[in-house]
Amino acid sequence: MNPIVVFDAVTRIFQVRGSTEAGTAPGARIVQALDRVSFAVREGEILGLAGESGSGKSTIAELMAALQTPTNGRVLFNGEDLAGLRGAGRREFHRRVQMIFQDPYESINPQHLIRWWVEEPLEIHGIGARADRLERVRRALAQAELRPPDAFLNRYPHQLSGGQRQRVAIARAIVLEPSLLVADEPVSMLDVSVRAGILRLLRRLRDELDLTILYISHDLSTVRYIADRVAILYQGKLVEIGGTDAVMRTPLHPYTQALMSAVPTLVVAGPRRPRVLLPAGNGSAATTPSCRFAARCPHAMNVCRQREPLLVELAPGHAVACFLHSEAAVPQPGGRA
């Protein structure tokens, strides 16, 4: 399958003013939210992206939607570097790539009728005449399973349930007939009872509208339910990626194993390394390279504290960045680091 999006060694660094982090000097600091992250989203797939809070998931989402730019590396959409997008090409990109956010309460303006909310993107992109736009709004609402659509057009967000509001947000996204949906924790705020319905809807829309979906969650159970492949992020590093069945049945990275384990203490206990905070001006990698999971890893070896493992494909399509599995994870002098 063709890649629709490619992350090519993407690093994202944030400048943080006046850090109050214990053990660091006051003043400017930089946070490395992503460190040389490379992966592809294949056309037509649902790729799940999982990792704990602060691991860099939303940063990946915003880079993919061109709401942020990489500090280093490239993000390609259909082979084109997003950094080079201008004018009409840029507008077309912003039609073809739509985001769905975690909080349907925040992302919907409470003052406006549903019909206005779903129609607005068409207006912004200058799509269709008035009557035609209303027809598109009806169709998008019906596709989001808000039926009959006429029963929702003239209602306000507060008259809807949380699940219905997230369906309105989905209708607003698909009304533009996008090719890629970036869904950042779309069910995390919703009642458990309505989550499966939203996940089924996203899967159905993928099939019926030929969509590609990046599905982000800190909760592996929803990823397992919806995703064809899964990528695991830990502190800004991609540590494992593969088919959902393979990763769930044979998780290779100790962090993935911990995430999946019935013993959640592995994930929450243990010495938590503070987020990578580097002195301002040092825009490259951490000064002492090591596996970022080493301090919390039950299998940590010496090499894990001295070097950074590379992502290595161990079985077709299943890659892991861990010294337990591969000597090849050791960066070679002069090789790709």
**Which residues of the chain form contacts with ligand ADP (CB under 6 A)?**
14, 16, 31, 33, 51, 53-59, 275
Give the shortest CB-34-to-ligand ADP separation in angstroms: 8
Q: Which is nearer to ligand ADP, 159 or 284 (CB)?
A: 284
Give the shortest CB-35-to-Mg ion separation in angstroms: 17
Give the shortest CB-314-to-Mg ion separation in angstroms: 29
Q: Which is nearer to ligand ADP, 53 or 193 (CB)?
A: 53
- Interaction partner, residue 242 (ligand ADP, Mg ion, none; CB < 5-8 Å by kind): none
Q: Which is nearer to ligand ADP, 14 or 105 (CB)?
A: 14
Give the shortest CB-255-to-ligand ADP separation in angstroms: 14
Query: What is the distance between the alpha carbons of residues 328 and 313, in angstroms, rounded to a whole number?
Result: 10
Listed in sequence order, the DSSP H helices in the chain are 57-64, 87-96, 104-107, 114-124, 130-143, 150-153, 162-174, 192-209, 220-226, 244-249, 254-260, 265-268, 302-306
Q: Which is nearer to ligand ADP, 16 or 248 (CB)?
A: 16
Structure tokens that stand for 37 in this block: 């992250």
Give the shortest CB-186-to-ligand ADP separation in angstroms: 13
Q: Is the Cα torsion angle 288, 289, 292, 298 positive or negative in sign?
A: negative
Give the DSSP letter string of 50-102: E--TTSSHHHHHHHHTTSS--SEEEEEETTEEGGG--HHHHHHHHHHEEEE-S
Query: What is the distance between the alpha carbons of residues 204 and 22, in angstroms, rounded to a whole number?
Result: 47
- Interaction partner, residue 288 (ligand ADP, Mg ion, none; CB < 5-8 Å by kind): none
Q: Which is nearer to ligand ADP, 126 or 274 (CB)?
A: 274
